[in-house]
């Protein structure tokens, strides 16, 4: 059995609230293997995004352990977790979160520059990624000059900038129309086919159906796991 990219062991995440603590995750145990394509579905508030955040090392569990390539994420200092996210994990958000003052090219180049990739390598990689998402012609455009689908494709290219082992997408088609959403799903399919592990949180059954494994969540726990 290979080492999973990320593994959650009895993970809980409780948010302290004025009205009383809320358990967003309850004893979740999960392994994501290299090259896997997993969909996470469930009703709003069931803990899908929280699970994604915990798996992506942007949040730490209040109970249990998250191991990223065998390393206990909870024991890592913030700077180390940042480095891990920068180099090993790609994030795609529902609202894209592209930097509005940067062009598509610069947005894709940003994580590489932060990781210290040389200028020549960055140029090559950015060109390659924009071609991959079909936006070579829009490289010099700012987000305000792009459509929603184009922005999400730039966001995917940005997420792939440092060749992550794991791509986490939180409702990547949530703000897109059907046709544009299909393009994005097609892109995720290609990513998986190229060997990147993909985890997609979605409400959309059509998006989830493309995954090789589907986790259905309810009340912070895994209710059902299926292979479509």
Partner 1 sequence: MNLLNSCAPVESIQVLRSLRFAWLSIVRQPARACLAILGVAAVGALLFDMLLLSRGLVLSFRDLLDRSGFDVRVLATDAPPFTGPRIADATAVTSSLAALPELEAVLQIRVRDAQIVEAAAEPAGPRARLDRVDFIGADPQVRSMWTIVQGEDLPDRPESAPVLIVNEHLARKYGITPGSELLLRGRCESLSEAVPAVRFRIVGIADFPFDSTTARTVAGTLSWAERLCAGEGQDRAEMLLVRSKPEVGAFTAAAAIRAAHPDLHVVTNDELIERFSRVEFSYFRQISAVLATVTLFFGFLLIAVLLTVSVNQRLGEIAALRALGLSRSRVSAGVLWESVMLVGAGGLLALPLGAALSVWLDAILRTLPGLPADLHFFVFEPRALYLYLLLLTVASLGAAVYPMRIVAVLPIAATLRREVVS
Binding site residues, partner 1, CB under 8 A: 15, 49-50, 53, 56, 58-59, 78-79, 82-89, 91, 93-95, 97, 99-102, 110-118, 121, 158-159, 162-163, 165, 170-171
117 versus 211: smaller Cβ distance to partner 1: 117
Nearest Cα to Cα of residue 182 among 209, 214, 157? 209
CB–CB of 9/29 below 8 Å?
yes
Q: Least separation, in Å, of the C-beta of 158 and partner 1?
A: 7
37 versus 91: smaller Cβ distance to partner 1: 91
| Class of residue 228 by CB neighbours under 10 A (exposed 0-12, middle 13-18, buried 19+) | exposed
37 versus 96: smaller Cβ distance to partner 1: 96
Q: Least separation, in Å, of the C-beta of 94 and partner 1?
A: 6
The β-bridge partners of 25 are 13
Q: Least separation, in Å, of the C-beta of 77 and partner 1?
A: 10
Secondary structure in 3-state letters for 33-72: CCCCEEEEECCCCCCHHHHHHHHCCCCCCCEEEEEECCEE
12 versus 50: smaller Cβ distance to partner 1: 50
67 versus 110: smaller Cβ distance to partner 1: 110
Distance of CA 194 to the CA centre of its chain: 16
Cα angle value 176/181/184 (rounded, 5°): 120
Nearest Cα to Cα of residue 153 among 168, 131, 170? 131
Q: Least separation, in Å, of the C-beta of 163 and partner 1?
A: 6
In sequence order, what DSSP letters do the residues of 195-209 get, joined into one string?
A: T-EEEEE-S-HHHHT
Q: Least separation, in Å, of the C-beta of 162 and partner 1?
A: 5
């Amino acid at each position: 059995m290979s080492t999973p990219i990320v593994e959650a062991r009895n993970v809980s995440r409780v948010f302290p609230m004025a009205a009383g603590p809320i358990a967003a995750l309850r004893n979740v145990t999960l392994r994501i293997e290299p090259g896997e394509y997993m969909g996470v579905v469930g009703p709003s508030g069931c803990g899908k995004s929280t699970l994604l955040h915990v798996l992506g090392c942007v949040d730490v569990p209040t109970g249990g352990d998250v191991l990223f390539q065998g390393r206990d994420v909870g024991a890592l200092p913030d700077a180390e977790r940042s480095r891990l996210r920068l180099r090993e994990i790609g994030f795609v958000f529902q609202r894209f979160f592209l930097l509005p003052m940067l062009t598509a090219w610069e947005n894709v180049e940003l994580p590489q520059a932060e990781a210290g990739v040389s200028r020549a390598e960055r140029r090559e990689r950015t060109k390659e990624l924009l071609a991959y998402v079909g936006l070579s012609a829009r490289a010099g455009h700012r987000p305000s000059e792009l459509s929603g689908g184009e922005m999400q494709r730039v966001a995917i290219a940005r997420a792939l900038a440092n060749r992550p082992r794991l791509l986490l997408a939180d409702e990547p088609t949530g703000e897109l129309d059907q046709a544009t959403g299909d393009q994005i799903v097609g892109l995720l399919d290609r990513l998986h086919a190229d060997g990147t592990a993909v985890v997609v949180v979605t409400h959309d059954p059509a998006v989830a159906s493309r995954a090789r494994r589907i986790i259905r969540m309810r009340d912070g726990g895994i209710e059902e796991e299926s292979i479509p």
